[in-house]
Chains A and B, each alone.
Chain A
Amino acid sequence: NAGVTQTPKFRVLKTGQSMTLLCAQDMNHEYMYWYRQDPGMGLRLIHYSVGEGTTAKGEVPDGYNVSRLKKQNFLLGLESAAPSQTSVYFCASSYPSAQETQYFGPGTRLLVL
């Protein structure tokens, strides 16, 4: 089991460029999440999904879009990157049960110049 994987590990973008971050999980989890982590600010939820074909906004959704076309994949898109989106992005997944934890991917470090 690979668990939760993320692609790419690191990326540098210029302002205005677009990119897609890929998250994949092989644990058959229904729920998937995208967080961003900035220094000293903990984890902030961007978007999440409770199943294939469904997505919902989290705490900081502006500037991001997501898609969940397959149960095992959750994509995070930046249409026009801004320096404020420089961050570390973590994907996570979990079972629907309210008393189960979530498992995190290794993170993607994004630098927007």
Chain B
Amino acid sequence: GENVEQHPSTLSVQEGDSAVIKCTYSDSASNYFPWYKQELGKRPQLIIDIRSNVGEKKDQRIAVTLNKTAKHFSLHITETQPEDSAVYFCAARRYNFNKFYFGSGTKLNVKP
């Protein structure tokens, strides 16, 4: 089955700096890659996603890049703010398959 690895497990940045979280996947048939943000005590919520026919997608301060050849995708957050502090999960979903495979999560701490 699919295996998704996520790094780093914790990340501390100064407010205003950029943050990058990386995930690798093993199944070349995976073609959908969402990113979720989970604030303390809350549910995971989708913040951005990318499909395999696209190399990069941006939404204001958040961007995701996908390298299908190397089988890795990354979340980029620019101009970080304290409210960006949360746990971020990447996931992969295979074409014509029912399950999502999650990374182990990255705890991002943005210091004011």
Contact = CB atoms under 8 A, between A and B. Distances in A.
Interface of A: 31, 33, 40-43, 45, 48, 50, 56, 58, 90, 98-107
B104 A41 contact: yes
A45 B97 CA distance: 14
Contacts, number: 48
Interface in B61-112: 89, 93-100, 102-105
Given A50-B98, A99-B51, A42 B105 contact: yes
Bin chain B's interface residue count: 20 to 34
A107 B96 CA distance: 27
A113 to B, nearest CB: 21
A42 B43 contact: no
Nearest to B45: A104
Interface of B: 31-32, 34, 42-46, 49, 51, 89, 93-100, 102-105
A11 to B, nearest CB: 16
Contacts of B102: 42-43
Contact of B89 (A42, A48, A99): A42
B31 A99 contact: yes
A58 B49 CA distance: 23
Contacts of B94: 98
Given A43-B89, A107-B43, A102 B100 contact: yes
Nearest to A109: B41
B43 A99 contact: no
B44 A43 contact: yes
Contacts of B42: 106-107
